[in-house]
Structure 1
Amino acid sequence: MNQNNSNPQVAYFCMEFGLSEEMPIYAGGLGVLAGDYLKAAREAQFPMIGIGILWAHDYTEQYINGEGRPYDVYPEFDYPMVQDTGVSVHVNVRGEDVECKVKMVDCYGNVPLYLLDTNIPGSSHGWMTNKLYGGAAQDRLAAEMILGIGGIRLLRALGLEVDLYHFNEGHALFAGLELIREEMEKNDHRFDLAWKKAKSQIIFTTHTPVAAGNEIHDHNLLNYMGAYNGLNYEEMCQIGGDPFNMTAASLRLSFKANAVSKLHGHTARKMWQEIPLSTPIISITNGVHEGTWQDKRMKEAFDRSEDLFAVHMTCKKELFNYIAEKTGQVMDPEVLTLGFARRAAPYKRSDLIFRNSDLLEPFISHGKLQLIFSGKAHPNDQLGKDIIADLVKMDQKYGNRVVFLENYNMEVAKLLVRGCDVWLNNPRRPFEASGTSGIKAAMNGVLNFSVVDGWVAEGPQHGVSGWLLEQAARQSEVWDQDEKDLQELYQVLFREIMPTYYQDRERWKEMMLSSIDMAQWQFSSARMIREYYDVMYRPTFQALDYWEVAPYIYPGWLEIEHQPQITQ
């Protein structure tokens, strides 16, 4: 165990990591956040390692076909930047012994990230780490068992001493079951003591305020897959209920848990308030890695009090050159340009701005407004693909004034958050847990135009460092907000944003300055990781000092009742 009480050694588990566009083992915001986190740990010299999976194929490369619909391509990658440690671990899945090679990458300014890989020549188990979030429930469970159980075993195999285990989302839950199994072997198979010990070392971050995004599994399938990992049905029910809820189980297994913005904290506490034995949920707002997302020229201009708009126009032209190269569409850098890039999901309302074309169309057709969209849908999400197809129709309708950029990834994201003038974000509140793309834009002086949800409730001020759509924040029934939000969106766009851009350039520059000033520390990954150490890691680690004596001096410490039939 780390003897430096101020900085415990943390193993950070996540299903995906977005370190670079050349290493596509990420799907979106969760993975990019995890990659930024590992970079912040390296810069701050915090003792941390990452645990993930080396996916054989990209999550998906997604392009548009001749009918205007997205289709998926899965190239296989060699990952020359990844090192083979020469170590393998084994996990029992469906009664079969699965070998997992342990790889490592640390070349992107990150602390070491260890990756489990079942794509071994001659093995029949490559499907388990084939595609991120791909396949059916068995595929998902197999991958999660590799991540969790295999992740703990790789730590043991490499001799890496760890004080705390941080689960970034419920995908890593099976690491907790492996810790329990280890402790049961040491404590005469006492499940209650093993649970207490495992709980004292686990941190959990929940990201998903949408109920459908929280995984639930049937116990018959869990048992068939070998996910019980030495536990029985009653013990598994005490942890995750029946059916087995991965988020609820993670909340019961963790010593401390957090949401990823203050508003998300309110939502998550309400969501999970009925879960017996759940740890309380606090809030630590997400941040992004400046070195990855903030244009160096913009940072230098900000630090030297130089002309931010001139640098911005350079970034804007670079974005437009990329668009011309990829699509043949020529956009005008003098025209106000809104950007929108998100995962294709109904609550994000990517088409909201188009819902009254009679009002919007004159501004587009007369060259006063341009829009750029990008994003991916999950390969199996036909509704998400319908959303993208609708955006492509707008691209086809408006020519060079509306563009949909296919195959959204970190490269495209960097261009967009630096080159657009305004960053549009209009989800149905309160379903945006954080929304880090807006932070990346703000760090580059791109002004946010957003519903007050996620991080936005803590950052931009209306008319000072961005513009806010506040109707949803004043109303209790969020699903009736579309029309009200649309009316407010047009009012702010036509009466405030456009006049400022075209008639008051000095004020626009001042707002850019305020945006960067607001974002670059308060919403940085450097601030975020320090807050995790201050609020989550150190207090949890200090509490570990009591573990050896507390069960004897304080018999009720971390008391876990016997509740064999907890249901959701």
Structure 2
Amino acid sequence: MNKTLPKVAYFCMEYGLDTNFKIYSGGLGILAGDIIKAAKDLEVPMVAIGIKWKQGYVDQYIGQDGKPVDTYRVYEYDFLEDTGVKVPVEIRDRKVWLKVWKCEKFNNVPLYLLDADLDENADRLLTAQLYGWFAEERVAQEIILGVGGVRALRELGIDVDVYHFNDNHPVFAGLELIREKMEEGMSFNEALEKTREEIVFTTHTPVPAGNEVHPHRLLEYMGAYLNLDYWQMNRLGGDPFNMTVAALRMARIANGVAQLHKETANDMWSFVEGRPEIIGITNGVHNGTWQDERIRKAYENGEDLLKVHQEIKKELIEFVEKRTGVKLDADKLLIGFSRRAAPYKRSNLIFTDEKLIAPYLESGKIQIIFAGKAHPNDYTGKGIIADIIKYAKKYPNSVVFLENYDMEIGAMLTRGCDIWLNNPRRPQEASGTSGMKAAMNGVLNCSILDGWWPEACNHGVNGWQFGDGKGVDDFETLEELDAHDAKCLYEVLLNEVVPTYYENKTKWAEMMRESIKSTQEKFSAARMVKEYYDLMYIKK
């Protein structure tokens, strides 16, 4: 791509660049990391803004009682460059200084990270824990990201044409841009219209809990008003202040992260007056990070994919044995399920009819590896993990849970499993990029038609779907939907997936090849970044 493109500043709360660089939580951060790597590959003019999280997200292990236990530790990095720049923000009527670090280590465009852990700050722990603590700290962290990010760009002398807000956390950057223009003499309306020309917005989760809402009293107390008044803030985000609504009203264009999600998002936010069009730009993943080089070469050279996959699968099995002591069988079907433990993702759906699935687990004909963390404050999610641990203890040779999920575990699973299972309540999965990683490694998806999978699935050719495209609006209760989807899962898994794996290896190999063929370019981060420039960044 050419160098006359607009200069983009990409704002995100988290970045997944490397398993040992603990400034990420999960899918949002991995997506952001893949984007700034692909931007580097394409040589496009982009910089990124984030936060240097001193304690990362959370280390989460399983206690003796079978329940998740949260631990925290301090991480130090010797590869970050000190820019020599510090910028102030005002939080609770106190000045908080932010040191600006630069990271380019992971073949990514420049990533500038804001750090409040300075001697001159009374609130030096504000950048300690990603998504930690409660509402006050969350608002403070979002002021740091948004307001501090804009001020850092100014101090660094980086001229920006487009500010890309990845999710609603950077919203206060828009307020800072409005404040700047009003200080130059513009009216609020003029400043808002001018700011809208500079901002694009990616909306993510369609689950209400993922779209933050804050009381105005809290925002004013924390210093998030930035010289605006209640009526101006209310016009942007409503009362209480909805971060996603405000982002939509401050952006000239927005996107959902899959074509189905585009429809869901437009329906979900149809009540927002003054919002822009929400288009669909389906997520993608960075091939160089997630696609095993051996499987890519075997695919390109027309070699035996099953043979190469079996080698990678054995590496995963050794990895699992070192971590858990459980020795899985490389000749038996291996299912991977790796998700944040949230109710709508239904991690334990496969155990719905235990009598039906038990013989397959007892014999080892079906093996399952689970992984994923729950948010430290999400006790429902922790209960889901505890339930999986119960089954891992009951079927110790076929059900495994890998603790403290990170990028290393994600890469091992999406390369080494035979099947990638995904069963959210449709349409509550915005995208689901782990399935893309699996698919371009020849790991066959068996998934609900949600997120990205409706765009890729060719049932029985490059993977399988179950659930018949039905979702939360097709049933009176969630219990009915869950029962329906569990039944459909069993039908496809036991009557199509298992027989194909054990009785028709030729077809399995053909499906692996088709899986890679249909996904490695179409669902790449490179394609995604190009679409961002073509459809969002460049004004039409």
Alignment of 1:117-196 (within 5 A): 117-186=115-184, 188-196=185-193
Alignment of 1:154-303 (within 5 A): 154-186=152-184, 188-303=185-300
Cα deviation for residue 6 of structure 1 reads: 4.9
Alignment of 1:64-75 (within 5 A): 64-75=62-73
Letter in 2 for 1:123: N
Contact 1:24/1:58 (8 A) holds in 2: yes
> What does the per-residue CA deviation read over 1:474-494, in whole Å, with 9 as the maximum and x for residues that have no partner?
884253311111111111111
Q: Does 1:431 align with 2:425?
A: no
Cα deviation for residue 123 of structure 1 reads: 2.6
> What does the per-residue CA deviation read over 1:78-110, in whole Å, with 9 as the maximum and x for residues that have no partner?
111211111100001110011000001001010
Tell me which of 111, 114, 126 is aligned to 2:112. Answer: 114
> Alignment partner of 2:151: what SS?
helix
> What does the per-residue CA deviation read over 1:471-521, in whole Å, with 9 as the maximum and x for residues that have no partner?
343884253311111111111111111111111101000000000011100
Alignment partners' CA distance in 1, 2:50 and 2:537:
20
Alignment partners' CA distance in 1, 2:219 and 2:303:
59
> Alignment partner of 1:393: what SS?
helix
Contact 1:316/1:419 (8 A) holds in 2: yes
* Paired position in structure 2 for 1:45: 43
Tell me which of 401, 406, 412 is aligned to 1:404. Answer: 401
* Paired position in structure 2 for 1:538: 538
Change (3 A) 1:240 1:449: same
Cα deviation for residue 467 of structure 1 reads: 0.5
**Which segment is superposed worse, 487-496 or 405-414?**
487-496
Alignment partners' CA distance in 2, 1:308 and 1:200:
48
Letter in 2 for 1:355: T
> What does the per-residue CA deviation read over 1:311-370, in whole Å, with 9 as the maximum and x for residues that have no partner?
111111111101111111110000001110000001111111111111111111122110
* Paired position in structure 1 for 2:380: 383
Contact 1:285/1:434 (8 A) holds in 2: yes
* Paired position in structure 2 for 1:482: 482
Alignment partners' CA distance in 1, 2:303 and 2:242:
53
Letter in 1 for 2:311: T
Alignment partners' CA distance in 2, 1:5 and 1:493:
49
Cα deviation for residue 235 of structure 1 reads: 0.8
**Which segment is superposed worse, 74-83 or 385-394?**
74-83
Alignment of 1:45-64 (within 5 A): 45-64=43-62
Per the normalisation by structure 2, the TM-score is 0.98
Cα deviation for residue 243 of structure 1 reads: 0.7
> Alignment partner of 1:165: what SS?
strand
> What does the per-residue CA deviation read over 1:230-252, in whole Å, with 9 as the maximum and x for residues that have no partner?
11111111111111000000000
Alignment partners' CA distance in 1, 2:79 and 2:397:
38
Contact 1:472/1:485 (8 A) holds in 2: no
Alignment of 1:448-527 (within 5 A): 448-473=445-470, 476-477=473-474, 479=478, 480-527=480-527
Contact 1:170/1:247 (8 A) holds in 2: yes
* Paired position in structure 2 for 1:553: none
Cα deviation for residue 52 of structure 1 reads: 0.3
> Alignment partner of 2:97: what SS?
strand
Letter in 2 for 1:339: G
Contact 1:348/1:428 (8 A) holds in 2: yes
* Paired position in structure 1 for 2:12: 14
> Alignment partner of 2:295: what SS?
helix
Alignment partners' CA distance in 1, 2:469 and 2:384:
22
> Alignment partner of 2:169: what SS?
helix
Cα deviation for residue 122 of structure 1 reads: 4.9
Alignment partners' CA distance in 1, 2:72 and 2:79:
20
> Alignment partner of 1:170: what SS?
coil
> Alignment partner of 2:396: what SS?
helix
> What does the per-residue CA deviation read over 1:285-304, in whole Å, with 9 as the maximum and x for residues that have no partner?
00000000000101111111
> What does the per-residue CA deviation read over 1:25-47, in whole Å, with 9 as the maximum and x for residues that have no partner?
01100000000000000000010
Alignment partners' CA distance in 1, 2:193 and 2:371:
46
Structure 2 portions without partners, runs of 5+: none
Alignment partners' CA distance in 2, 1:128 and 1:175:
18
Contact 1:265/1:281 (8 A) holds in 2: yes
Structure 1 portions without partners, runs of 5+: 543-568
Cα deviation for residue 68 of structure 1 reads: 0.5
> What does the per-residue CA deviation read over 1:246-284, in whole Å, with 9 as the maximum and x for residues that have no partner?
000000000010100011111111111011111111110
Aligned length: 536
> Alignment partner of 2:341: what SS?
coil
Alignment partners' CA distance in 2, 1:220 and 1:360:
52
Alignment partners' CA distance in 1, 2:167 and 2:32:
11
Contact 2:346/2:423 (8 A) holds in 1: yes
Letter in 1 for 2:60: Q
Alignment partners' CA distance in 2, 1:5 and 1:38:
16
Letter in 2 for 1:518: S
RMSD over aligned CA atoms reads: 1.1
Per the normalisation by structure 1, the TM-score is 0.93
